[in-house]
Amino acid sequence: MPNYQVATGHNQTGALADVAPQPASEGAQFPERLAVVGGGLYDDGTQYIDLIWNEALTEAEALVVLAAFGLWNGSATVNTANVTLYAPTSIPRVWKNWNGVAVLPRIGESASKESATCWYSDFVVRVKELGAI
């Protein structure tokens, strides 16, 4: 299986680097699937992908992940950042390059912080507004 890769900024395929540690995902998704006349289905909205770290991350690991996605500048977090991403499509085993917007996880909703030990579980970075490049 290929590795997830990311670079800050759009159209940065030459700068893509492996995400460490590697996340998991269900591939690119649409926000809504609608039934249409005739029994067909229509995927509505702009695609997004949720990158999920199921194993606990230390605070240092979480900051490395955030920095890779342009969401940590070394002293403060950033709410969103343009990225280039190499990740799976909704078709199994099909990967491609995408432009998108990474969104800072909200602790308590897309990540849980255990303050005493300073590690994060169920850490999720959403990359929205995906466009294939």
* pLDDT of amino acid 131: 95
| Three-state DSSP state, 96 | strand
Q: Which ranges of the chain have pLDDT less than 50?
A: none
Distances (CA, A) of 19 to 36, 53, 61, 89, 116: 38, 11, 11, 17, 27
The 10s digit of each residue's pLDDT in 43-75 is 778 999 999 998 888 888 999 999 999 999 999
User: How far apart are the C-alpha atoms of 5 and 84, rounded to whole Å?
Assistant: 8
pTM: 0.86
For residue 111, give both structure tokens: 């990540």
Extended strands (E) in 1-133: 5-8, 17-18, 32-35, 41-44, 49-53, 57-58, 80-88, 95-103, 112-114, 119-121, 123-132
Are 124 and 66 contacting, i.e. CB atoms less than 8 angstroms apart?
no
In this predicted structure, what is the pLDDT of residue 54? Answer: 85
DSSP 14: G
pLDDT of residue 129: 97
**What local confidence, expressed as pLDDT, does residue 37 receive?**
85
Task: Give the pLDDT confidence score for residue 101 in this predicted structure.
Answer: 98
